[in-house]
Structure 1
Amino acid sequence: MEAQKTRQHWLSVLAHSTPQQLLAHWPAQLQPAYQLLRAPETGLTRLQARMGGTGKRFILGDTTVTRAVVRLNNGLCGYSYVLGRDHQHAERCALLDALLQGEQSAALQQQIIAPLAALRQEQLTLRSREVASSRVDFFTLVRGDN
C-alpha cells in the first residue's frame, strides 16, 4: 500500500509540473533506452465540479489531455497523463514513472521529484495567500424581536 501511495505522489507531481520545470531538473546523463507502447496522443476530457465542493455536480468544461506509455528494456512500464498538448512532456513523464519503479528510484526522487514537489507546494501557498487576501467575511447583526 505504501508503494502505491508513493507512486501516486510522484505521478501527481509529474502531472502538475510544466515542461520547463521538468527539463530544468532533468539530469543530462539520464538517457535510458526505451520503447513507446502507446505513442503520446491528445484527446479531450470533461471536467466536472461541485458548487462549494459539496453541492450538485455540473459540467465545468472540456480540456485537452495527453497520455503516453513507455517500456524500459528491463520490462518496467511507465504511464502518464498531462494536461495540454505537449507530447514530449507526456513521454518524459511516462519515462520517469518507469525509471522511478526501478533501482534508480531514490536518486531520482531526490533529484527530480522532491524539487518539483517543493515548487508545487510553493505555488499552492502563493495561490492560497492571493485568495485569502481577497476574502470577505460577512456577518449579520441581530435585531430586536419586532
Structure 2
Amino acid sequence: MITNHKFAYRNVASKYYEFRPQDIDKAMDDFRQILEGRGLHLSGNMFFSILSDPQSEIMIAEIFLSVEEDSIKGLVSPEEEIRFRSYFTLSPMVMTRIMKDFDLESQKKYWKLVSYLQVNHLEQATPVFIEFKNSLSGIDYVEMSIGYSINGDNYNFS
C-alpha cells in the first residue's frame, strides 16, 4: 500500500458510461473511437473512476483519456457530453497495484484500500480510480487509488 500517492495528467477528456463490468472494454473502445473520430490524438494515458458500488450489476464510471490537443472546443459537440480538463490532479491518495488476474484481484484490492482508510481514520474523498500502466520492461499492470482526507482537510482535486 502506498500512501500520499498523487497522479496528474494534462489535456484529459472524459465521459460517463453505464455498463456491465465485463463490458468495460467496449465502453473504453467506444470512447477511443469517439475521440479519434473527431480528429483528436490520444497520448496513451487512460484511467477511470468507479462511481457506483463496485459490486453492482451495472457499473457507472467516468472514463478518462489524455489527448495531445490542449482543447477540444469545436471538435466535440455538447450532445456527446465529453468533459475536458487541461490539467487533472488528485492528491493525497492511497494506492495499491494489481500485477495479474485483474478480475480476480480487483475486489480484494478495493476492500484492502477501504479497510486501510478505516483503520487509519482517513475519510474517503474520491471514488476509486483505476490507472492502466506499463512498466519499462513491458509488463502491464493496474494501479487502484482512493483519495483521502483527514477530518475533511488536506485534499486537492483539480
TM-score (norm 2): 0.20
Which structure has greater strand proportion? 2
Which structure has greater helix proportion? 1
Which of the two has higher C-alpha Rg?
A: 1
